């Protein structure tokens, strides 16, 4: 999956960074969660490079997502750069699911 992405090196770096961030927060992804997350990160990097923006989301829809998950997602969005604010909300679901073992 990573090898077929537009920028395999950038993807590998961000996936490694995200795993490290999650582990520091005592969040561990299953193999399936990591595969889905990696695909999402690839798309985020593509949007960052192309300038494409996700449509705005209503933050209230994410009111039950933990601050921890939102903060981790925000850190990733900032690291990638050039992304819409909506990205952190959508990405936070990956952290929340892993944290809650969903």
71-86: pLDDT as tens digits: 999 999 999 999 999 9
pLDDT in tens, 29-44: 999 999 999 999 999 9
Q: Where are the domains of the chain?
A: 8-99
Which residues are CB-neighbours of 82 under 8 A, at least 6 positions away? 48, 49, 51
Overall pTM > 0.85:
yes
CATH topology of domain 8-99: PTS-regulatory domain, PRD (1.10.1790)
């Amino acid at each position: 999956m990573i090898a077929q992405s537009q920028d395999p090196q950038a993807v590998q770096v961000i996936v490694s960074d995200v795993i490290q961030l999650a582990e520091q927060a005592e969040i561990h992804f299953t193999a399936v969660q990591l595969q889905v997350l990696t695909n999402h990160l690839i798309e985020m990097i593509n949007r960052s490079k192309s300038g494409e923006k996700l449509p705005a989301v209503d933050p209230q829809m994410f009111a039950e997502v933990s601050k921890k998950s939102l903060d981790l997602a925000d850190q990733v969005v900032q690291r990638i750069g050039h992304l819409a604010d909506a990205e952190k909300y959508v990405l936070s679901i990956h952290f929340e699911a892993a944290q809650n073992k969903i």
